[in-house]
Amino acid sequence: MRWLKQTYDAVRSEDIEESKAEEIRDFLAAKSGEDAEAPDRHDAHPLTIQPATLQGGGSHIQLHHPSPKPRELPKATPFLDSLDKPYMTPYTLPKPPSDRSTDISCLNTSASLMMQRLTDHFPPSSDLQGSDAGDTSTLKKHLDDIFGPFVNTLKPFEDIPAEDWVRAAIWWAFKGKEQLEIVSFHKGSVPVANRDAVASPKPIQAAVNLAKAWWICQSIIPRLGRGEFLDDKDFNIALLEQYRCVQQYLQGLGQTISFLLETKRDQITGIDVDRSLWIMYPSCSPKEREILCPDRWPQSADNTPPLAFGDTETLFSYGSEFVSLTLVNEGDDIPSHSFECVLSFIRLQSSWEIVAAFASQTEAVYIEVHSSRKRGVSWHDVYWDAARSVLHIIIRPQHIAQVQLTEQSFKMVWEIAQEIMHTETLLVAGELDTLVFEDTVGFCHYISHDRPSNFPSGPVEQCKVRLFEKFEMVKEGKTERRVHCGFRLFVATPPQAKMISRASHYFLNSTPLLYGIYEDDNGFPGLLLQVREGSHRLSISLTFHDHHARGLLHALLLGAIPRDHETMSEKFAIRSFALSEPPDRDSDMQNIRHLEVGESMACVIEEKDGAGRSPYGNTVWSETLRVIIETTWGSITDRINLPPSHLRIGLCVLDDKVLNILRPPQSDLTVCVRQDTNSDKLRDELTKVINAIQTKFTLRRIEFNSIEDLHSFQQAITGYKVRFDRVAKRFIINRPRKLFSIRNRWEANFTRVQLVQQKGKFQLIAFFYQSPHGNCMNFEVRCTDAFQPIDKSDLWGIVIKDAKFALPEIKPHMPGFVCLDELDYPLEHDDISVMFNDKAERDELLACLPGYGGQS
C-alpha cells in the first residue's frame, strides 16, 4: 500500500486522469480507516522504503517493496536490484511536461511534497501574506514560548553539546515526517472546506514535531556560537551531512508553521500534544551502556551517522522506522529497560553492504546489524518471532535486544534481511570457494537474449567483477580432497548508484565455455563470455583498462596460469592429441575416438615444493596438477586429481614419441571454445565428449615431437624421472615349474624398457610387443639387488637376480598400462634378463641402476 501512496503523492493532477486519481484517493481513504480502527501494538510507524532508480541503457529500473502474505515468512526478495519479475507494478509514472524542470534533488522534491501536505491540513489564509506571522524572528519568539520550558528537562542548557541538539533536530524531523505520512493516508477522503472540523491530534502532533526540528535549526544551533553550518573540525561529518539534509527538508515550512500557531495554538498547547524536546531514557549501568552501544558510534572520522535522514554524497538511506527496543538478560524474568529507537537501513557509497542501525535520540543506544559476523552483530544473530512481530538480536551471550515492530514492518524487515544475506553470499567466497580474481572494469555490457533481465541493458561503467573457483569435497577412505567443479562470475554495478544491479552465473564443467577476445574502438582490451543456463542464453562483455587484467581473467577461466603455490613446466610442442574410449575388454570392438587435435602446445602446472606433502609425492591427491592443451579452436584443461593407483600410463614399443594415459571417469575437465570458430556445432560435439569423459574410462593419446619432451611430460604427471629408455631385443623371465626342477622361460622379442626414479625409489618398466604372456609389467629395483652383466650370441644384457615382481596380466585387445604410485604385490621371485643388440645400451642401463652405477 505504501508504493501506491508514494505514486499518488509524486504525480500531480495534470499527470494522470481524474478517474485514476479518484480511485487512488478512495483506496487510501478506505485503507486509512482500517488502520485507524485497528489498535496499535505500540507507537511504531510503518517502515518507509524509498524507491530509487538507476539509469542504464536508456531505461529506468525501479524497485518497490510491498508486504508479503500475512502470517507467513516470505521468501527472500531482491532489495539491491530489480529482478526479472518485480514485486508489483504500480501505475507507471508519466514523464513530466517539457516545460517542467526535472533537475530537482530527491530531498527538495520530498520537502515540497511534505509542505503541500501540511498546507492541505493547515492552509494559510491570504490575510497573513506579508504580515508579522511570516517573519522568521517572530516565529522564533512564538516557538521559544512553546518549547523553551522543555529545553532543560534532560540537563542544563549549557551542558548540552551541539551534537545532541543536532541529533534532536534529526529525530523530530524523522518523527514529524513519519507521522505526517500516516496522516496523508486520509488525504482526499474529506473535503478541504470541512478539514478544520475534523482535525485530529495526529496532524497537529506531526506539525508540532516538525516545528521542533525547525526551531532547533533556526534558534538553538545559532545560539551555541557555532554558526549555521556547524563546520567545526571535531564535529562528526556524517551527522553534519544529515543535519544539512534536515535543513534542506525544512526550508519553506516557516510560513505554514506560523499559520498553525495563529489558528491552532489552543490545540498545540493542549495536554494531548507532546511538546517535549528530549526522550527520557532510563538510566543504565556502565555494563548496560557498553552492551547497548557495542559499535560505539562516535568517531568524527566515521562516515556512518547514527541517524540517517536522507541521501548524501557518501551515503544512501533506504528507509527508517520508529521501534521499541528492550534489553533482556538471559535468566531474568523481567526485561531491564526499553528504549524508543529509529531503525534505519543505510549504505555507504563505497560499499555494497546495507547496514541496519538502531539508534536512540541520545547516545544511549546504537546497534548495527551487518550481513556478516566478521563486521559485528549480523543477521545470523537475529531470531524472528513472527507471531508477535518481534526481533531477538543476540548482542552478546546472555544479552538480547528485543525489537517490537508492526506486522507489516516485520515482514518488510524480513525481506530486506534475507536479501542482504543473499547478496553477501554472492559477494564473498563460500566455504569451499576461492576468490581468484577481482577488478573494476571499464565497461560491462550484459545481454539477455531470451528473456528480460534485471541488469541494465546498455554498457555500464566501473562495474565490479569477481571470479570464484568452486570446489566440492570428495572423501575416499580417510582422505578428503577438493575437486574443481567450475567457476562463478559475479558482476555488480557501481555502489555509487543508489540502486545496485548484480548478476551471478556459473561456468560448470558439464558444458564448454564460449569466449571471445576483442578490442573496442578506443583500443581497450575486452573479453566476451557466453553463458547458457538451460535454454536461456546470456552474453557478458567486459572491457578492461589494460591487457594484463583481461589476460589474467582469461587465463584463470582456462586454468592456464599458475598460482602462488604452483609452478608451470616448459611448453611442449605436440603433433597430435586424441581422446577416445579404450577397446572393450570382452569383445573385439575397437576404441571409439571422441576428439582429435592436430599440432598444438601443451604444458603442465603442478604444486611447487609439494613433494613432501604425501608419501606418493606431489602428483597423487593433487588439487593443482593439470595439463593444458592449447588448440586452434580453444583449450582443454585436464586436471589430474586422483587417489593412488588411478593414473595409468602406457608406452608404444615401435613409436617412442607416443604416450598413452588411461583415466577413470572425471568431472573436473574444462573445455573452452573461441567464439570465432563454428561455435554451435563444435559446442554440441564437445558437450558429448564431456559427457563421455564424466561417465566412462577414457584414453588420451599424445604424440610429441621428441622423446625428450615425452620424458619431461611423463615426469611432470607421474613424479618419476626417466633415467633410461630403450628397446631391448629380448626380455626373459626364468620361472621354475612347480614340483619339478625344470625352469620355464617367458620370453618377449621386442620390449620397451624404462628405468624411472623418484628420490631413492627405482622402478623398471617393460612394455611388450605382441607377447602372449601379457602387455606390460613394472617392479621395484633396489640397491640390494644383484645385477649381473652377460654376453651371449651377439647380445649384451643384464640379469637381475631373484627379482621381486608380479606377473603381467594378459588382457587381449587392451593396450598395456602401468601404475607407478602403487605396485601390484610381488608374488614372483625369479631371475629377469634384459638383452640388447648394442653393448653401449647395456652399459647405459648398468650405469643407471641403484647400487651399481646409479644413485641409491
DSSP 794-807: TEEEEEEEEEEE-P
pLDDT, tens digit (0-9, with 9 covering 90-100), for 326-338: 999 877 767 778 9
Q: How far is CA 208 from CA 44, 114, 196, 251, in A?
A: 18, 14, 17, 16
Q: How far is CA 61 from CA 86, 537, 721, 783, in A?
A: 10, 22, 62, 76
Specify the pLDDT at position 754: 97
Q: Which ranges of 312-457 does DSSP label H, i.e. alpha helix?
A: 407-427
For residues 734-748, give the mean pLDDT. 70
Specify the pLDDT at position 234: 56
C-beta of residue 779 within 8 angstroms of C-beta of residue 794: no
Beta strand pairing call for 730-736 and 828-836: antiparallel
Specify the pLDDT at position 446: 95
Element of type H or E holding 327: strand 315-329
Greater model confidence, 263 or 580:
580
Burial class (CB in 10 A: 0-12, 13-18, 19+), 237: middle
- For the chain, give the mean pLDDT: 78
Lowest mean per-residue pLDDT among 261-265, 661-665, 682-686: 261-265
Residue boundaries of the structural domains of the chain:
135-186+201-269, 286-296+314-427, 433-558, 566-610+619-716, 720-848
Residue partners of 7: CB distance under 8 A and separation at least 6: 24, 90, 91, 93
For residues 183-192, give the mean pLDDT. 50
Greater model confidence, 719 or 26:
719
For residues 163-189, give the mean pLDDT. 79
> What CATH number has the domain spanning 720-848?
2.30.29.30
Using DSSP's 3-state secondary structure scheme, residue 587 falls into coil
Residues 597, 741: Cα–Cα separation, whole Å? 55
Listed residue (779, 687, 784, 696) closest to 733, CA to CA: 779
> What CATH number has the domain spanning 286-296+314-427?
2.30.29.30
Residue 187 has pLDDT above 60, yes or no: no
Residue 96 has pLDDT above 60, yes or no: no
Listed residue (306, 303, 328, 483) closest to 397, CA to CA: 328
For residues 824-829, give the mean pLDDT. 89
For 295, phi and psi rounded to 5 degrees? -85, -10
For 421, phi and psi rounded to 5 degrees? -70, -35
Greater model confidence, 539 or 265:
539
Q: What is the dihedral of CA 35, 36, 42, 46, to 10 degrees?
A: 40
C-alpha cell read off for 698: 577414457
Give the pLDDT band of residue 742 (cuts 50, 70, 90).
low
Specify the pLDDT at position 696: 92
Residues 767, 778: Cα–Cα separation, whole Å? 9
Greater model confidence, 815 or 307:
307
Specify the pLDDT at position 534: 83
* Per-residue buried b or exposed e for 269-298, using 16+ beta carbons within 10 Å of the residue's own CB: eeeebebebbbebeebeeebeebbbbbebe
Specify the pLDDT at position 92: 28
Residue 716 has pLDDT above 50, yes or no: yes
Detail the DSSP E strand segments found in 633-775.
634-639, 648-651, 658-663, 670-674, 698-704, 721-728, 730-736, 743-748, 751-758, 761-768
pLDDT, tens digit (0-9, with 9 covering 90-100), for 345-390: 999 998 889 999 999 998 899 999 999 888 889 999 999 999 999 9
Angle at the Cα of 408 (from 402 to 413), degrees rounded to 5? 55
Specify the pLDDT at position 730: 93
Using DSSP's 3-state secondary structure scheme, residue 717 falls into helix
For 430, phi and psi rounded to 5 degrees? -75, -175
pLDDT, tens digit (0-9, with 9 covering 90-100), for 273-298: 888 899 999 988 888 888 888 765 44
* Per-residue buried b or exposed e for 653-669, using 16+ beta carbons within 10 Å of the residue's own CB: beebbbbbbbbeebbbb
Which residue in this structure is represented by grid cell 537474449? 449
C-alpha cell read off for 127: 490575510
The dihedral built from the CA positions of residue 567, 571, 572 and 575, taken in this order, carries a sign that is positive
Specify the pLDDT at position 416: 94
C-alpha cell read off for 168: 534532536
C-alpha cell read off for 302: 566515521
Residues 647, 822: Cα–Cα separation, whole Å? 10
| DSSP letter (8 states) at residue 823 | P
Specify the pLDDT at position 433: 92
Residue 743 has pLDDT above 90, yes or no: no
pLDDT, tens digit (0-9, with 9 covering 90-100), for 420-467: 999 999 999 888 899 999 999 999 999 998 888 889 989 999 999 999
Specify the pLDDT at position 225: 60
First to last CA, the chain: 84
C-beta of residue 319 within 8 angstroms of C-beta of residue 347: no
| DSSP letter (8 states) at residue 387 | T
Q: How far is CA 659 from CA 420, 574, 698, 813, 817, in A?
A: 53, 11, 14, 18, 10
Specify the pLDDT at position 205: 85
| Domain 286-296+314-427 shares a fold with domain 720-848 | yes
Q: What percent of the chain has pLDDT over 90?
A: 47
Lowest mean per-residue pLDDT among 3-17, 211-225, 565-579: 3-17
Q: Which ranges of 64-155 does DSSP label H, i.e. alpha helix?
A: 106-121, 136-147
Residue 581 has pLDDT above 80, yes or no: yes
Residues 818, 23: Cα–Cα separation, whole Å? 82
Residues 76, 391: Cα–Cα separation, whole Å? 17
Residues 525, 551: Cα–Cα separation, whole Å? 9
Residue partners of 632: CB distance under 8 A and separation at least 6: 598, 600
Residue 221 has pLDDT above 90, yes or no: no
Specify the pLDDT at position 613: 61
C-alpha cell read off for 134: 511570516
Using DSSP's 3-state secondary structure scheme, residue 305 falls into coil
Lowest mean per-residue pLDDT among 424-433, 729-738, 838-847: 729-738
